[in-house]
Chains A and B, each alone.
Chain A
Amino acid sequence: MQIILPSKISTILTALFFICSSIFFGIISLGFPAGGELFPLFLFGSIIFLSFLLILEILLKNNVQKPIAIKLDFFTWKPFFVSIAVIIHVIFIFILGYFTSSFLFLVGCSILIGLRDARAIGITAVILFPLMYAFFEIFLKASLPSGILF
């Protein structure tokens, strides 16, 4: 299953989003004191102007662009799931510790992306984490979050 959005429509929708957001944030910026509103207002004005030009460009263009197809399957949404995994990884850094969380992320994310090579993942972990520890903890003295484990 997939949703097909013609390129012209998607560009016009994007430009309209920019125009509406600029008006909304432009009104907010009117309340900034001591000339703090000048530069943002100049930029909002520029964004609105450029968005209109973008709409004009897309309407006047003759060449047919490829429509945007949004497939509703796991492979299309893989980057989304990977992003969620990174968010969980960052949260767990402060609970489990940087190295434990990173190890779990390396294993979990590789499997999520589709790599089923335990040897490659294992060798990478064995080489990577001691080097990272030596570099960040000993050389840079970065004191990475340790959590309840490591």
Chain B
Amino acid sequence: MDVNALDYLGNIFEITNILAMLLGVTVGLIIGAIPGLSPPMAIALMIPVSFQFPPETALILLVSCFAAGIYGGSFSAILLRAPGTSASAASAIEGYEMTRRGNAIQAIRISTFASVVGGIISGIVLLVLAPSLAKVALLFGPAEYFLVAILGLTAIASVSFGSVFKGLLSGALGLLISTIGIDQYSGFPRFTFDFIGFEAGLGILPAIIGLFAFAQALELSEGDARNTISGVQKLSWRIWPNLAEIFSLRWSFIRGWTVGLVMGIIPAAGGSVAQWIAYAWEIRRAKPGDQFGKGEPKGLAATEGSNNGVTGTSLIPMFVLGIPGGISAAVIFGALMIHGLQPGLRLFKNSPEIIYTIMWGFIAANVIMGFFAIFLARIMAYLTVIPRGLIAPLIMIFSVIGTYAGTNNVYDVWIMIGFGVLGYVMMKTNFSTAGLLLGLILGPIAENGLRDLLIISFNNPISYILTRPISIALVASILFIVYISFKPQPWQEK
């Protein structure tokens, strides 16, 4: 490790830095847990507060908010199938099924361990390998972006329970929905039908809330209103990590963290894609007896490991190259500039005390987040013992206010309701809401990558791809995933 990095470890124990971490973690956890309010919003809210502090403390506040925001999104995903962030959408599948089976506390325990350790590992990678790993991000061009999007989409085939074709159709539908709105290349409106609310495109935020939270509330409104989500009336107090449980899930955690660390370095991919790839990988590694889609802890361990494994490494391109890897990184990038810091290798040379203190702060914030989560989880888990007749309207109220407060646009509320009804119908007909969401997220990356690829390759994309080693590796991965998706899965054999 760079000897300079260790020299700055002591800075994080200053009282202002500790207070900044506590504030960032608290705000991040609360905002992340509310569907519609995202980590970038939490970070943006904290920027005016950060003016009161010196640059390193200000940035510690913001990166703490970022890490806790991603983790906070998992609470609502697990307990209500209402992911607070797009990076938690995959956790809603196994996490919510565990809650329904009365294992909410176990699910949160797994999520907390995966997220905290994933965040710490990601922070250490950020601290140790930032300058050298940033060079990898520079190797990605339009061809690689397009292929990363396709790779993410092939994950749909693996995470579709039932028909693979229905899963792929859902993904294609999501990609298609992502084309609605003004075409950024020509300025021409596509599929808007003169409806002004469609011109800016259908946002990811209303889609997440609609497809998961609202659709779930509609499902909860069925049946006996006095029943609870899980059917249990009392909750366990065992929230501390259980060594036997961790040991039995060790490979799932490791696979999740690995995917997160790698995907974090790729700009624009981030936790939204990483979680699905981790989940698909986990399903492929499943053994007979595993119950994927019905509350399998291995699936949750992988998705939760990956979405927090991303957090630290996603800051690498931003800190070293000045390329924000996602929306949260872009907001932090803006905050760096506001505080008079120019991202890039010179930041490491000229202001090591600032950059390394921020990185240590990020690692410490993940530790603090773990302790906070233990207490918060106990309170949040009570949501699962509220009658369905009360929780369904509450989810709907939060879906409406979350969408409105997130975008300040009433059209997005209508779009969210539309997605909600669509999601409910898809759930009933065994189509994949997760696939549709993934298509929607990856649509702009895939389309921009394809169009840039066609320009850069003079309309000869295949020859161009074959000249680039990373592209060839990505094509091989795509073909491999497609091949194994159609193979019978051992855990489904009777």
Interface residues of chain A, those whose CB is within 8 Å of chain B, are: 10, 14, 18, 25, 28-29, 32-36, 38-40, 42-44, 46-47, 50-51, 53-54, 57, 75, 78-79, 82-83, 86-87, 89-90, 93-94, 98, 102, 105-106, 109-110, 112-115, 117, 120-121, 124, 128, 132, 136, 140, 142, 144
Contact = CB atoms under 8 A, between A and B. Distances in A.
A33 B392 CA distance: 45
Q: How large is the interface on B (under 10, 10 to 19, 20 to 34, 35 or more residues)?
A: 35 or more
Interface stretch (B340-348, B362-370, B398-406, B474-482): B398-406
A35 B454 contact: yes
B169 A32 contact: no
Interface of B: 37, 45, 163, 165-166, 168-169, 172-173, 175-176, 179, 183, 185-186, 188, 190-191, 214, 217-219, 221-226, 387-390, 392-394, 396-397, 400-401, 404-405, 408, 410, 413-414, 417, 420-421, 424, 429, 446-447, 450-451, 454
A89 B191 CA distance: 28
Given A28-B191, A98-B401, A106-B394, A43 B172 contact: yes
A120 B390 contact: yes
A47 B172 contact: yes
Contacts of A42: 450
Contact of A144 (B224, B405, B420): B405
B188 A29 contact: no
A83 B393 contact: no
Nearest to B41: A140
Contacts of A82: 217-218, 221, 392, 396
B212 to A, nearest CB: 15
Nearest to B417: A86
Given A110-B390, A121-B390, 16 more contacts: A25-B176, A35-B185, A40-B190, A47-B169, A50-B169, A54-B166, A57-B163, A78-B222, A83-B218, A86-B214, A86-B417, A109-B221, A109-B393, A114-B389, A144-B404, A144-B405
Task: Choose among A36, A40, A46, A117 the residue with the greatest number of B CB atoms under 10 Å from its CB.
Answer: A36
B244 to A, nearest CB: 38
B169 A40 contact: no
B183 A115 contact: no
